[in-house]
Amino acid sequence: MKIKLNKPNIKIPKITIYGIDVIKNLGFFALYIIITLLAITLIIAPSIKKFKQTQKKYFEAKYEFNMVNNQYNKTLNELKMLKKENAKILNAFRRDFNINNFKNFASQFMEITSIEKNGTKPFKKDFLTTIYFVKSKINSPKDFYDFIDALKNYKYIVKVYFPINFQKEGKKILLTLKLEHYRLKNPKALKAEEKAH
Amino acid sequence: MRVYSFVKPKKKPLLKEDTKLWLIFITISFILYISFGLFLEIKSYLFKKETKELYNQTLTLKHKIIELNKQKEFIYTQKALYEDIMIKNQLVKQQIQNLLDLIPDPITLEKFYIDHNKLIIYGITPTKDVYNLLMLPPLESIFEQTITYFYELPNGWYKFKSENFIKSEDENQTE
C-alpha cells in the first residue's frame, strides 16, 4: 500500500508597497545583519583584540626604551663630565715614564746623581708599577717637601716610598728614595674601547 | 491554437534591480569588513615588528649602560688610586717632618734611614742623658722596640745609633 504524502503548500505571501517586495528586502536585510555579525565575530573582533594587545606591548616597549635611552644619555653625560673633571689623572695614568723628563722636573728641587730602574710588576687588575731608586743631593729637607708637593701637579703618577735615606754630606744632604710610577696596563686597548661608545 | 500578444516580449533579467543592489551592498560590506580586518592585522604586524626592534635597541642600550658604568667605575678606581698615592706622599712628607721635629737642639743628626717598620738614626749627642731625656721618650712612645748604641768620641760627646722597630702590618703599596 502506498502512502501518498501531500506536499506542504507553503507560500510566502507577496507583500508589495509601491512595487517594493517587502519580504524579499527583509530577507536581504536579515542576510546583511547575519553577515555583519559573523564578520564582527570572526574577523574584526579577533583582529581588534590582537591589535590592542600588540599596541599595548608596543607602547610598553617604547616606554621602556625611552626610559633606558634617558638613562643611557644620563650615564653618558656623567661619564663625559667625569672624564673632563679627571682628565689630568686619566692622562697621567696613560703615560709611560720618561727618566729625562723626571730629571728635568726634579732638578728644580734636587740634584739627581742616579736613577736606577728596579723592575715592573702588575698592580691590581689594570695597573703596572715600576720601581726606581733615586739618589740625589738636596740643600735642605724643604727641597724634599717641595718635591713631594710638586708631584701633585706632575704629568706622571709617582709615589715616593720607603726606604728613604737622609745622610749629611758637607753642606748638602744625600737623599736616597724609592719611587713608584703607576700607569695603566693597556692604555691603547682602553682608548679603543672608549672610542667605541 | 496559437496565442498572440499585443505586447512585445521583454528580456527578463536574471536578478531584479533591488536584488542586484542588495547583493552589491552586501559584497561591498563584506569586502570592507575583510579590508578592515586585514588593515588591523597589518598594523598589528607592524607594531610587533617595531616592538621587537625597540626591544633589541633597549637591550643594546642596556649593554652600553653596563659598559659605561664599568668605565665610570674604572675612572673612580683611577681617581681613588691617584688620591691614595698623593695622600701617601703627603704622609711620607709628614713622617719625615715629624722625625726632624723630634730631634732636639743639642743633638745633631747625621743620617737616618726610614723604612716601613723601622727607623735607624745616626747622630751625635753631648751626653747620654740629653739623648735619654729629650729623644728617647718620644721614640719609645712611637716604636715598640728601641735599641740605642753609643760610641764615645774623643771630645767626650757620643755618637749614637738608634734602631727603632714597629710591628705593624705593612700597609705597603696600597695593594
**pLDDT tens-digit map of A86-108:** 999 999 999 888 889 999 999 98
| Contact status, residue B114 vs residue B166, Cβ threshold 8 Å | no
The ipTM, to two decimals, is 0.79
Cβ contacts of B114 within 8 Å, gap of 6 or more: A162, A163, A164, A165, B95, B96, B99, B120
Euclidean distance between CA atoms B146 and A107, whole angstroms: 37
CATH (one of 3.30.70.60, 3.90.340.10, 3.30.43.10, 3.40.50.2020) for A96-191? 3.30.70.60
How far apart are the C-alpha atoms of A138 and A160, rounded to whole Å?
15
Indicate the pLDDT class of residue A5, thresholds 50, 70 and 90.
Answer: low
Q: Return the pLDDT at A188.
A: 62
Tell me the nearest-neighbour CA distance from B34 into chain A, angstroms: 7
State the Cα–Cα distance between residues A45 and B113, nearest whole angstrom.
Answer: 91
| pLDDT for res A182 | 93
Would you say B156 and B144 are in contact if contact means Cβ atoms under 8 Å apart?
no
Residues of B in contact with A93 (CB under 8 A): 78, 82
Per DSSP, B135 falls in state: I
Are B104 and B121 a contacting pair, CB within 8 Å? no
Percent of chain A residues topping a pLDDT of 70: 90
Alpha helices in chain B (DSSP H): 17-102, 128-130, 136-142
Domain boundary, last residue among B102, B137, B153: B102
Tell me the C-alpha distance between B61 and B80, whole Å: 28
Quote the minimal CA–CA distance from B58 to chain A in Å: 5
Asked whether residue B147 falls in the same domain as residue B80, the answer is: no
Distance CA B5, CA A32 (A): 41
Per-residue DSSP letter, A41 = I
Q: Pull the grid cell for residue B147.
A: 735599641
Taking the Cβ of residue A39 and every Cβ of chain B, the question of whether any pair is shorter than 8 Å is answered with yes
Burial A107-129 (b: 16+ CB within 10 A, else e): eebbebeebeeeeeeebeebbbb
pLDDT of residue A2: 62
For residue B105, what pLDDT band results from cuts at 50, 70 and 90? confident
> Residues B23, B97: one domain?
yes
Mean pLDDT (whole number) for A18-44? 90
Domain parsing of chain A, residue ranges: 19-85, 96-191
CA-wise closest residue to B114 among B101, B132, B133, B96: B96
Under 8 Å between Cβ of A180 and A130: yes
Give yes or no: residues B93 and B26 share one domain.
Answer: yes
Does some domain include residue B161?
yes
Number of compact structural domains in chain B: 2
Q: At what angle do helices A22-39 and B17-102 cross, to 10 degrees?
A: 20
Whether B98 and B146 share a structural domain:
no
- Highest-scoring range by mean pLDDT, A58-72, A121-135, A161-175, B90-104: A58-72
Q: Are strands B158-165 and A16-17 parallel, antiparallel or unpaired?
A: unpaired
Mutant choice from B24, B33, B107 vs A, greatest count of A C-beta within 10 A: B33
Q: Is residue B8 situated within a structural domain?
A: no
**What phi and psi, each to the nearest 5 degrees, are found at residue B42?**
-65, -45
Residues 6+ apart with CB under 8 A from B175: A123, A124
What's the grid cell of residue B146?
Answer: 728601641
| Domain with B98 in it | 19-102
| A54 interfaces chain B, CB cutoff of 8 Å | yes
Which of B43, B51, B114 minimises the CB distance to A51?
Answer: B43
Same domain for B135 and B61, yes or no, is no
- Are B92 and B118 in the same domain? no
Report the C-alpha gap between B121 and B114 in whole angstroms.
8
With cut-offs at 50, 70 and 90, classify the pLDDT of residue B174: very low
Determine which of A11-20, A137-146, B64-73 has the lowest per-residue pLDDT on average. Answer: A11-20
Q: Say what the pLDDT of residue B175 is.
A: 39
Asked whether residue B25 carries a pLDDT value surpassing 50, the answer given is yes
Same domain, B84 and B145: no
Kindly state whether residue B67 falls inside one of the protein's structural domains.
Answer: yes
In a domain, B88, yes or no: yes
The model's pLDDT over B114-173, given as tens digits with 9 standing for 90+, comes to 888 889 999 999 988 888 888 888 888 888 889 999 998 898 899 999 999 987 654 444
